[in-house]
Amino acid sequence: MRIFLLLLAFAVSGCAPQPDTVLRGDPLDVMFLQMMLPHHEQGVSMVALAKDRASDEELRMLAAAIESTQVTEIATMKDWLTSWGEPLTAPPDSHAGHGGIRRTKPEEIARLRALRGAEFDRRLLNVLIAHQDDAVQMARWEAGSGAHEDVKDLAGRIEKSRGAQIDMMKRFLGRT
Amino acid sequence: MKTRNRLALASLVASTALAVAFVVPLTTASAHGTMSDPASRVYTCKQEGPENPKSDACKAAVAAGGTQAFYDWNEVSLLDAGGRHRQIIPDGKLCSAGRDKYRGLDLQRADWPAKRVSAGPLTVTYHASAPHSNSNFEFYITRDGWSPTQPLRWSDLVHLQTFNNQNPTTFTNWTLNIPHRTGRHIIYSIWQRVVGSAEAFYTCSDVDFGGGTNPPPTTSNPTPPPTTTTTPPPPSGTWAAGTTYQIGNRVTYNGSSYECTLAHTAIAGWEPPNTPALWKRL
């Protein structure tokens, strides 16, 4: 069935014949999930730091809600990949040709870990705005060009919720 | 790439020709970059060092938007651009490509480090940290009379030259014919990928023709967003974005009832049926 879907996706999208065609459809779903999984996990590890470090009450509340919702999304994304018989991670750099996705470096997590209070708040807000802005980029592509409705719906919700989170975080930054 | 497994499977049932055709797009290299000469704003601040920039403009950009933008200097891009630049990037946000991550690049200041230039041929260099074949590069300059203390709008850009079907290397040079200008201007570029992705990259490089009135550096703080007052959550009612819900609050959404299980401020995309992490259906 999956092979059939794959062939169908290529046939419908016309992806097969030329090398200069933009990735879309079924293979894009898989790539999107494999790229978003580690991105989500990094996001979770950053917002988890807020619990003991953030001084702003609203930021702590937002961080906890982001952590909880992304953990749930991670489980959903893993379930899809597993049920399709796809590995959860792609070989390193294999998606770079299609734009790749930024990973927040471990050094940044270490910098955050060392901060407390207002300094932590500012740095987390700026890093998280950048991180979620990257997620919006990827989600927008999947929502527009993916194949599976469930995956596209998730991408659409990621695009909307991360955009709204960024607006909230810019508001928080304005008062730090 | 990941789809290799599937491609391998597919090749068992598909014709050989079809299977071979599948493999081709998977070998594409990644593409990232920006203008290095005249240096784009992101390149300038990256070179100065994201944590301790030297110039006031880069200090302000970091203060306004954080350091991450400058670690990711080679990705001021939109993944799904596909040539729709003018539709998807709003006026005033051309330097950031409309991305919040890069909002520090849009600061309207007359003291961005600028290369001294004059009318005539100018060799520009694009630094592609990961080059990519078959790309189109468009170059623009701001119109006569534009000032860096004004927002950069699409209508401010005058087309210089476009180079299609380019195969950039790590450092690629082009020669542009620069028109007469006075004072500070921006050379704007768009790198539109054609192979494997609809992604496009955007750059703002400040240049100075001299002879301009040098307006004092502006400390253009981004306008603080309006502070919204958090409305106390109704004990029951229809779910609404912007409302802060506490554990135990109940709402209805699309005819169903939900109870909040984690305190949060509701936002679009976090509707109760989609967020079991925040809401329990009753």
Say which CATH number the domain at B49 has. Answer: 2.70.50.50
Say which CATH number the domain at A107 has. Answer: 1.20.1260.10
Is the model's pLDDT at A12 over the cut of 70? no
Q: Flag whether B8 is in a domain.
A: no
Single residue among B159, B174, B208 that ends a domain in this structure: B208
B44: domain range?
30-208
Query: Chains A, B: CB contacts under 8 A, how many?
Result: 193
Q: Flag whether B23 is in a domain.
A: no
pLDDT for B4 equals 43
Whether the CB-CB separation of B2 and B26 falls below 8 Å is answered with: no
Q: Flag whether A12 is in a domain.
A: no
Q: Flag whether A5 is in a domain.
A: no
Same domain, residue pair B135 and B252: no
Same domain, residue pair B196 and B236: no
Q: Flag whether B275 is in a domain.
A: yes
How many domains is chain A partitioned into structurally? 1
Same domain, residue pair B161 and B258: no
Residue with tokens 């991408």: A155
User: How far from A176 is each of A118, A129, A172, CA to CA, in Å?
Assistant: 7, 15, 7
Note whether A92 contacts B: Cβ–Cβ < 8 A: no
Q: How confident is the model at residue B162 (pLDDT cuts 50, 70, 90)?
A: very high
Burial letters for B98-118: b for 16+ Cβ neighbours within 10 Å, e otherwise? bbbbbbbbbbbbbbbbbeebe
Q: Flag whether A111 is in a domain.
A: yes
What residue in A sits closest to B279 (Cα-Cα)?
A: A69
pLDDT for B10 equals 39
User: How far from A96 is each of A27, A32, A103, B166, B271, CA to CA, in Å?
Assistant: 14, 12, 12, 19, 33
Say which CATH number the domain at B232 has. Answer: 2.10.10.20
pLDDT for A11 equals 35
**Best of A4, A20, A36 to disrupt the B interface by mutation (most B CBs within 10 Å)?**
A20
Q: Flag whether B77 is in a domain.
A: yes
d(CA B272, CA B251): 9
Percent of chain A whose predicted confidence (pLDDT) is above 90: 70
User: CA angle, B9 as apex, B7 and B15 as ends, to 5°?
Assistant: 75
Q: Flag whether A29 is in a domain.
A: yes
Note the maximum CA span of chain A: 56
Whether the CB-CB separation of A127 and A108 falls below 8 Å is answered with: yes
Q: Flag whether A144 is in a domain.
A: yes
Q: Flag whether B72 is in a domain.
A: yes
Whether the CB-CB separation of B54 and B97 falls below 8 Å is answered with: no
Amino acid at B95: C
Same domain, residue pair B75 and B168: yes
DSSP state of B25: G
Q: Flag whether A113 is in a domain.
A: yes
pLDDT for A26 equals 86
Q: Residues 6 or more apart from A57 whose CB is under 8 A from it?
A: none
DSSP state of B26: G
Q: Which residue has the higher pLDDT, B23 or A129?
A: A129
Whether B100 and A97 lie within 8 Å, measured CB to CB? no
Dihedral sign of CA atoms B90, B92, B97, B101 in order = negative
Q: How confident is the model at residue B220 (pLDDT cuts 50, 70, 90)?
A: low
Whether A158 and B6 lie within 8 Å, measured CB to CB? no
Note whether B240 contacts A: Cβ–Cβ < 8 A: no
Is the model's pLDDT at B267 over the cut of 50? yes
- Two tokens at B206? 């400040």
d(CA B15, CA B22): 11
Distance from CA of A140 to the nearest CA of B (A): 7
Same domain, residue pair B160 and B269: no
Same domain, residue pair B47 and B169: yes
In this prediction, residues B142-162 reach a mean pLDDT of 97
Amino acid at B57: A
Same domain, residue pair B56 and B122: yes
Same domain, residue pair B164 and B202: yes
Same domain, residue pair B84 and B158: yes
pLDDT for B23 equals 32
pLDDT for B30 equals 54
ipTM of the predicted structure? 0.84
Over chain B, what is the mean pLDDT?
Answer: 86
Q: Residues 6 or more apart from A118 whose CB is under 8 A from it?
A: A55, A56, A176
How many domains is chain B partitioned into structurally? 2
Q: Flag whether B187 is in a domain.
A: yes
Is the model's pLDDT at B260 over the cut of 90? yes
Same domain, residue pair B65 and B163: yes
Where in A13-161 does DSSP place strands (E)? none
Same domain, residue pair B193 and B265: no
A57: domain range?
23-173
Q: Flag whether B20 is in a domain.
A: no
Whether B225 and A170 lie within 8 Å, measured CB to CB? yes
Residue A96 has its nearest CB partner, among B79, B130, B274, at B130
Whether the CB-CB separation of A130 and B99 falls below 8 Å is answered with: no
Same domain, residue pair B82 and B197: yes
Q: Flag whether A17 is in a domain.
A: no
